[in-house]
Amino acid sequence: MKTFIPKIDPNSRNWYVVDLKDAILGRAAVQVADILRGKNKPIFTPHIDTGDHVVAVNAAGLKVTGNKRYQKTYTRYTGYPGGLRSRTFIEQLQKKPEDVFVKAVRGMLPKSRLGRKMLKKLHVYSGPQHPHRAQKPEKFEL
């Protein structure tokens, strides 16, 4: 018996639109990460990118449960001494709502060049408009 290796044509990848308005951050990120990896397909192979493109709109409407709204922090380092910067979830959602969702999905993908390739198929927008109408994306319900 031979091992099945799927042949993936980049033009045959599906496009999905996910509306993040009033969605719980972690629960939405899990489902989107599964689509990006291709775990929702019968031809899923862990070492091959078999996933689809995801367009996430209304990222500014994300929600979290409990006190994470005030306690969850996003840190980054500028590269200079004393350059550790941090923001709470509310501050980050006001300044860069797209980064909140991208960071959550990135944590659920493989930490390798394959994971970085998968993350490039995620397109996040803070409002309801997106420039991917030509790809005819299907609506995906969370």
Q: What is the pLDDT of residues 34-79, one digit of tens each?
A: 999 999 999 999 999 999 999 999 999 999 999 999 999 999 999 9
Determine, yes or no, domain membership for 56.
yes
Domain count, the chain: 1
Which residue type sits at 47?
H
Determine, yes or no, domain membership for 4.
no
Q: How many CA atoms lie within 13 A of 131 on its CB side?
A: 0
State how far the Cα of 75 lies from the Cα of 72, in Å rounded to an integer.
10
Among 118, 100, 9, residue whose Cα is nearest residue 53: 118
How would you class 38 by CB atoms within 10 Å of its CB: exposed for 0-12, middle for 13-18, buried for 19 or more? buried
Domain extent for 90: 15-129
Is the separation of the CB atoms in 86 and 74 below 8 Å?
Answer: yes
Question: Would strands 53-57 and 15-19 be described as parallel, antiparallel, or unpaired?
Answer: parallel
CATH number for 121: 3.90.1180.10
Write the pLDDT tens digit of every residue in 10-43: 788 999 999 999 999 999 999 999 999 999 999 9
What is the reported pTM? 0.92
Determine, yes or no, domain membership for 142.
no
Write the pLDDT tens digit of every residue in 76-125: 999 999 999 999 999 999 999 999 999 999 999 999 999 999 999 999 99
